[in-house]
């Protein structure tokens, strides 16, 4: 490792803490290990995650449980149609200096000034309020009345949305979707998991979740993830994957037939960082092609805009990504 301030023993301890985080969340959340891992990947890569699933799949509970394992400031905002931008970023209030009697405006920080922000049901608030998060998510700061206010480090947005209900919802625009590093689909539990859910949630047994990671641990982990090696052929593969999503330059039949707009350069950055984060989570310090393929769906599914032909043929973005990965040749190198 190039970072001389972190010893091999400290790296091992941090990796053990990551494993403990998953164990602690598992005390409350039955199954969904893949979803928890993807959220951790987003955190390690320094990005934000959007979780989509029907009601009752414990999306909110998962995020709040994860927050309990992290010794960080945590804020939950329930997004509603009447929520205003100032309800998120804050507003100026008029105060009086008790010594001089002079009155002045003071910026009152909103709930976005936290380490972990849970934006619950983000698609239930109008675009004006959704857009209030754009600068915070991208620049890690908030601008108000000509002044900029830095957000605490680390800063993550974990948002949830329900894909079923359409009444009273406002789908996120493509520009905001692109700010999310990962778009994670939360599926139904298996039969065995559902029985365990019934067993746990209908008894008097209470569960205590221990805090495992602190802010400085997460910042150190994010630095370590960027140190994970990625061979040049794999970087070329990532570039080919992203460029192949664009119908004007793609040779993949599913892309030219079903895609209106492809992914931008931010998708390549996300693929690279998430592949590094996955390798690190598994105790490796070098990325493999399997790491890239494993994160491709969550990275690309919200960055590909399908056309009317795809809607008519009931073609989903995940199916298009499957066809894309199958059509591209894999990198040929002993390092991958």
Q: What is the pLDDT of residues 116-138, one digit of tens each?
A: 999 988 888 888 888 888 878 88
Kindly state the tokens that stand for 239.
């570039």
Lowest mean pLDDT among 68-72, 151-155, 259-263, 323-327: 68-72
Q: How far apart are CA 37 and CA 288, in angstroms?
A: 17
Q: What pLDDT, on the 0 to 100 scale, is given for residue 2?
A: 41
Q: What does the radius of gyration of the chain's CA atoms come to, in whole angstroms?
A: 21
Whether 246 has a pLDDT exceeding 90, the answer reads yes
pLDDT, greater one: 215 or 238: 238
Residue range 189-203: average pLDDT? 82
Q: What pLDDT, on the 0 to 100 scale, is given for residue 130?
A: 85
Q: What pLDDT, on the 0 to 100 scale, is given for residue 169?
A: 77
Q: How far apart are CA 40 and CA 14, in angstroms?
A: 13
pLDDT, greater one: 30 or 264: 264
Q: State pTM to two decimals.
A: 0.86
Residue range 314-325: average pLDDT? 92
Q: How far apart are CA 303 and CA 184, in angstroms?
A: 13
SS (H, E, C) the chain: CCCCCCCHHHHHHHHHHHHHHHHHHHCCCCCCHHHHHHHHHHHHCCCCEEEECCCCCCHHHHHHHHHHHEECCEEEEECCCCCCCHHHHEEEEEEECCCCCCEEEEEEECCCCCCEEEEECHHHCCHHHHHHHHHHHHHCEEEECCEEEECCCCCEEEEEECCCCCCCCCCCCHHHHCCCCEEEECCCCCHHHHHHHHHHHCCCCCCCCCCCEEHHHHHHHHHHHHHCECCHHHHHHHHHHHHCCCCCCCCCHHHHHHEEECCCHHHHHHHHHHHHHHHHHCCCCECCHHHHHHHHHHHHCCCCEECHHHHHCCCCHHHHHHHHHHHCCCCCCCCC
Q: What pLDDT, on the 0 to 100 scale, is given for residue 3?
A: 44
Count CA atoms closer than 13 A to 299's CA, side-chain side.
Answer: 30
pLDDT band for position 207 (cuts 50, 70, 90): confident
């Amino acid at each position: 490792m190039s970072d001389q301030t972190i010893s091999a023993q400290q790296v091992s301890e941090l990796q053990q803490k990551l494993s403990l985080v998953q164990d602690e969340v598992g005390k409350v959340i039955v199954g969904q290990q893949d979803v928890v891992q993807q959220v951790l990947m987003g955190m390690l890569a320094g990005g934000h995650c959007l979780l989509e699933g029907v009601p009752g799949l414990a999306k909110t509970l998962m995020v709040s449980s994860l927050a309990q394992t992290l010794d960080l400031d945590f804020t939950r905002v329930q997004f509603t149609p009447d929520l205003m931008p100032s309800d998120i970023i804050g507003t100026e209030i008029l105060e009086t200096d008790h010594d001089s009697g002079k009155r002045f405006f003071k910026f009152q920080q909103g709930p976005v000034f936290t380490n972990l922000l849970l934006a619950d049901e983000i698609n239930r608030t109008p675009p004006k309020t959704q857009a209030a998060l754009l600068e915070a998510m991208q620049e890690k700061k908030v601008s108000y009345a000509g002044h900029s206010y830095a957000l605490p480090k680390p800063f993550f947005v974990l948002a949830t949305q329900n894909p079923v209900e359409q009444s009273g919802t406002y789908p996120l625009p493509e520009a905001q979707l692109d700010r999310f590093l990962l778009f994670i689909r939360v599926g139904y539990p298996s039969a065995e998991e559902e029985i365990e859910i019934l067993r746990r949630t209908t008894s008097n047994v209470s569960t205590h979740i221990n805090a495992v990671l602190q802010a400085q641990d997460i910042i150190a982990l994010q630095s370590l993830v960027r140190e994970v090696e990625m061979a040049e052929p794999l970087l070329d593969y990532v570039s080919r994957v992203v460029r192949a999503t664009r119908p004007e330059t793609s040779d993949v039949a599913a892309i030219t037939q079903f895609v209106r707009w492809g992914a931008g350069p931010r998708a390549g950055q996300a693929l690279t960082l998430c592949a590094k984060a996955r390798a690190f989570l598994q105790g490796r310090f070098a990325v493999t092609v399997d790491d890239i393929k494993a994160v491709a769906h969550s990275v690309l599914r919200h960055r590909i805009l399908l056309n009317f032909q795809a809607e008519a043929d009931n073609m989903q973005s995940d199916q298009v990504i499957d066809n894309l990965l199958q059509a591209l040749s894999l990198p040929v190198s002993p390092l991958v």
